[in-house]
Structure 1
Amino acid sequence: MKTPSNPIDEEASHWAARFDGGELSPSDKTAFSAWLNAKPEHQRVFAQYRELSAQLDTHIEARLTAAAETVVQQRKTSRIRNRIIAATLTAAAAIALTFTVLSNRSLDLATKTAERHVATLDDGSKVDLNARTELIVDFTRKERRVHLVSGEALFTVAKDAKRPFLVETSTGSVRVTGTVFNVRASTTSTTEVTVIEGTVRIRSSGDATNERPMTPGLQAVLSDKTLVIRTLPEGAAQDVIAWRQGQVVFNDTPLGEALNHFAAYHARTITIDPRVVDLRLGGRYSLDDLDGLLESIESILPVNVSHQSGDVLRITAAEPTKRHD
């Protein structure tokens, strides 16, 4: 994890460490909420530290699993030891939702690699969390506020005209009173918002005064400076939320972006040749079948997939076949 080099980095690192350490006190929760809402930069940097923490956890888990598997192979004659190792591996691989209650009105929800979860909030709203997603729910009598720190979530918001529902990311916010929409905070400092039902109002953190409406079938991409809204092809909005069934749909999607969708479901590291990162991919794939995706792209795109040391995969441009006259 990077070493903090300025006050915001230091503060974000401090809060990220506090969240990793366990439950926050009510006064800590109030202080954190005030700090996070003070500046969009706070949200952006905090999200980066939490993403780094999640990546480190995944790396450590992969190394521990590999080490345990080696021990299993070397100690086949010890039944007791094998049972202990098997239990450890089962616990490490089990889908377990991190659900830390911060107070009776605020909570932290997080999922780990390859797990999804559905949570019902105390106002009746429902949140579907994709893998490696973290969000902080903070409800008051005047508003319902959710910070999407990282990952992706589908929000089915219960109607309450007196209490607007606000989803914030490091690059912008979405405000509704009751609707269904999907928010994906990518690792490239952009946020993707897709409206499934109802109407939302969206704005970029770089232009907080310019709030724009969105209706079903529209998708917005926000950075800290820009907001672009486009109309999706018919049926494409439902494809966006195919992850709830463990699938992902690509339609002329850049290869680099397609691989990012699988990052939350596997501990393996994939490096990609810059020459092929923008090759286009289409089709429907299972998120738990990375090998199937790799076999597919190697057969339909001019690329080679090679296995490096450990759990590292490399995708490179295929060399053109030489003609022999």
Structure 2
Amino acid sequence: MNQIRHFKSREHIEQEAAAWVIKIDQKPLSASERDELERWLAQSQAHRRSFLALADVWQELDGLTSESEAVTQQAARPSQKQMPIVWSAAAAVLLAIALFTFHLRTANVPDIHAEYQTATGEIEQYLLPDGSRIKLNTRSNVVVDFSAHERAIHLQEGEANFEVAKDPKRPFVVYTNRGSITAVGTAFNVRVQSSGIDLVVTEGKVKVDAASSVLEPVRYDDKPSTRTELPDRSAQQIVAVSAGEKLRFGNTTQHHTNPSQQEIDRQLSWQQGMLAFDSTPLAEAVREISRYTDTHIIIEDPALAELPVGGYFKAGEVDAMLEVLELSFNLSAEHQGNRILLSKK
């Protein structure tokens, strides 16, 4: 279920993080203060990210004790239920040094927060500031959240193809409602369906974590956002997928295959604005055609659902596709308002 959430500004979160560090340095936290800090860390990825980034600098400056390092490990855990933490003091002077170093490192790395979506029948391409490219298929929506530490893409619905620019220090992660896909420099296609996620890798290698529990666009403004809850999983399902391989994964199942190049080309033909079918069941072809039109196409005779059809069509030109089906496969297409009824002649 979608939830509307409001996010604090980045500057506000960093100020709060700094205030916590100062308080920790002055004296050990009381039980109530520890509880308050745990709630603060659990608010969002942005809170934990700011804390961990500063902690990383402190470690390099030898400003963290072994006990404080345990705290950063606790903060890094994504669970919303944090365990009680025992803190020890850190040197106050390192706070200013750490903040200064942190801002020097991230000053030239722009935070990007944008949302892109396509309407029915639209196919659009977007060039991101890091040089990566996103091509969105019809009825698709992505939220882009780039920070100094991660290039996060939240594929809310539909289908997208990604050409990822290399940046080992900032992993490129695509989050879906069934898990995440991580790449450094590669090209891959992701489609969100009710039955699961379809992934095709065309270049390089990606890591799929089907147990990821985070699909929360991190916003540093006051605009509302949505969060999609993932099914609870007790065990991780991490799979490496290389170029030329395909993976479909859902709540509990995975199907890893090595399709032919022809099959990959057919599945990705939408990027050229085309739809390709080869002995495809009519019901499946109709579902694909329907993605590019608001007209409802109905197969009246259930016996026709498995009829194998083939052809190469321009996406969105429904009438032309139906004409080919009528002539080549002895079908009848009857228009009734916003519906088209397919039947045997």
Residue 147 of structure 1 pairs with residue 154 of structure 2: yes
Could you tell me which residue of structure 2 aligns to residue 194 of structure 1? Answer: 200
Q: CA deviation at 1:284?
A: 1.2
Gaps of at least 5 residues in structure 1 are 1-8, 19-23, 40-102, 320-325
Q: Secondary structure at the match of 2:158?
A: strand
Tell me by how many angstroms 1:256 deviates. 2.2
AA in 1 matched with 2:309: L
Query: Secondary structure, in 3 states, of the residue corresponding to 2:284?
Result: helix
Match of 2:296 in 1: 269
Does the CA contact (< 8 Å) of 1:170 and 1:224 recur in 2? no
Larger RCO (CA within 8 A; separation ≥ 6): 2
Distance 1:254 1:201, change over 3 A: farther
Distance in 2, matches of 1:195 and 1:240, equals: 12
> Structure 2 vs 1, CA of residues 129 and 172 (structure 1 numbering), >3 Å: closer, same or farther?
same
User: Cα distance, 1:244 vs. partner?
Assistant: 1.9
Which residue of the other structure, out of 213, 217, 237, is the alignment partner of 2:264? 237
- 5 Å-filtered alignment, 1:98-117, equals 104-117=111-124
Asked if the contact 2:111/2:147 (under 8 Å) is kept, the reply is no
3-state SS in 2 of match to 1:235: helix
CA distance in 2, matches of 1:292, 1:285: 8
The answer (yes or no) to whether the contact 2:111–2:148 under 8 Å persists in 1 is no
The answer for the alignment partner of 2:126 in structure 1 is 119
2: distance between equivalents of 1:120 and 1:131? 18
Cα distance between partner residues in 1 of 2:259 and 2:195: 22
Summarize deviations over 1:237-256 as a string: whole Å, max 9, x none.
Answer: 23322212210111232222
Q: Does 2:183 match 1:176? A: yes
Q: TM-score, normalised by structure 2?
A: 0.60
Q: What residue in structure 2 maps to residue 306 of structure 1?
A: 334
**In structure 2, C-alpha distance between the alignment counterparts of 1:242 and 1:144, rounded to whole Å:** 27
Residues 205 and 242, structure 2, Cα contact 8 Å, conserved in 1: yes
Instruction: Tell me if structure 1 keeps the 8 A contact 2:276–2:312.
Output: yes
Q: In the alignment, which residue of structure 2 is the partner of 1:212?
A: 239
Paired amino acid for 2:263: A
| 1: CA distance, partners of 2:8 / 2:288 | 35
Does the aligned pair in 2 maintain the 1:158–1:179 contact within 8 Å?
Answer: yes
Change (3 A) 1:241 1:26: farther
Helix, strand or coil: the match of 1:106?
Answer: strand
* Alpha-carbon distance, 1:26 to partner: 5.0
Q: Which has the larger radius of gyration?
A: 2
Q: In the comparison of the two structures, how many residue pairs are matched? A: 231
Contact 2:140 2:159 (C-alpha < 8 Å) held by counterparts: yes
Shift of 1:130: 1.3
Q: Counterpart of 1:304 in 2: which secondary structure?
A: strand
1:292 to 316, 320, 326: 320
Secondary structure of the corresponding residue to residue 293 of structure 2 = coil
The answer to whether the Cα contact below 8 Å between 2:188 and 2:202 also exists between their aligned partners in 1 is: yes
**1:42 corresponding residue in structure 2:** none
TM-score, normalised via structure 1 length: 0.63
